[in-house]
Amino acid sequence: METPRFSATDAPLIDPFQRAVTYLRVSVTDRCDFRCTYCMSENMTFLPKKELLTLEELDTLSSAFVRLGVRKLRITGGEPLVRRGIMTYFESMSRHLATGALEELTLTTNGSQLHRFAQPLADIGVRRVNISLDTLDEEKFAAITRWGRLPQVLRGIDAAQEAGLRVKINAVALKGFNEQELFPMVEWCAERDIDLTFIEVMPMGDLGNEDRLDQYWSLKDLRGRLADRYTLTDLAERSGGPARYVRLEETRQKIGFITPLTHNFCESCNRVRLTCTGELYMCLGQEDRADLRAPMRSAPGDEDALEAAIRAAIRLKPKGHDFDYSRQTVDGQMPRHMSHTGG
């Protein structure tokens, strides 16, 4: 069992606005076996493999953050389960669960590979997964993901539940696409004891892509539709992310809302994002970033130098993002694809 290392410089990661950074999202690949229209271009140009962090480097960086107080580690992509050998990394990270240094190791996935990985993930200590699923209609699913197959994802959800993993569905609210599926999706999740979170579409990807504005469905409107049918009770709980939750009293299920546009959740932001190339983004909706790959590779094994680079990056964390659709334009749009930063 690994013995935690302590030094005189050990202290929580605190940003300039006195927010403790305890949550790291790690993108392990920019590649995916889907091409969701709000996430990727259909003909993506992926990064050369030589630019990606190795699994060992992902371990080094992730472990440095754990030493500095990160308690929750979420693995993202791209699709994390398409990266070759990814279970080696998960197994390595599980040692931090064993020592108690890490409270939770989890992932966000499109579900396509879960039928193969659900049980091994459960075996090493993963307790819940977030699965991106915007529609239960097979034709619409094929259209929104371009390459996806709904039966394969549903098989993965079944495998996850059979392995004892707690499943949460993340559904992007898309105007004119899944509005009519609001109640069927809620009922489907209720029948399977699956939590459900709705997300406003964010302006990420190719500049000039007018589809983001056309796709935007305010969660204020979505919540209002739910309230017409169900009794909603606000919940105080937080999962470490930006979601705000309600309970539907009639079904007793938990529904989450992630609203970066109609409600800016930055005041309580406790997270940063590490890309598959070793760049640390301090905010999803800003271009502030720091290169952690260079100091790690220039001084292999120098934990103090790496931790100093991490602390310097956290000191640059901005107060918040500038996403805004209120003026009928896509203000604050980021040119990078979500698959690169890691959701």
Please tell me the pTM assigned to this model: 0.86
Taking the C-alpha atoms of residue 296 and residue 291, their distance in angstroms, rounded to an integer, is: 9
271 assigned ligand-binding residue = yes
- Could you tell me if residue 126 is inside a domain? yes
- Could you tell me if residue 105 is inside a domain? yes
- Could you tell me if residue 8 is inside a domain? no
36 assigned ligand-binding residue = yes
- From first to last of the 343 residues of the chain, give the pLDDT tens digit: 554 544 434 678 999 989 999 999 999 999 998 888 887 777 788 889 889 999 999 999 999 999 999 999 999 999 999 999 999 999 999 999 999 999 999 999 999 999 999 999 999 999 999 999 999 999 999 999 998 899 999 999 999 999 999 999 999 999 999 999 999 999 999 999 999 999 998 654 443 444 556 778 999 999 999 999 999 999 998 765 678 999 999 999 999 999 865 555 677 788 999 999 999 999 876 777 899 999 999 999 999 999 999 999 999 998 875 544 443 444 444 444 455 555 5
- Could you tell me if residue 5 is inside a domain? no
Sheet architecture: strand order including 244-248: 232-235, 244-248, 253-258, 195-200, 166-173, 128-132, 104-109, 72-76, 23-27, 271-274, 279-281, 289-291
- Could you tell me if residue 18 is inside a domain? no
- Could you tell me if residue 10 is inside a domain? no
268 assigned ligand-binding residue = no
252 assigned ligand-binding residue = no
Domains identified in the chain, total number: 1
- Could you tell me if residue 47 is inside a domain? yes
189 assigned ligand-binding residue = no
Tokens representing residue 115 in the block: 């039928």
Which domain does 45 fall in, by range? Answer: 23-341
The amino acid sitting at 128 is R
266 assigned ligand-binding residue = yes
223 assigned ligand-binding residue = no
132 assigned ligand-binding residue = yes
- Could you tell me if residue 219 is inside a domain? yes
74 assigned ligand-binding residue = yes
List the CATH number of the domain containing 127: 3.20.20.70
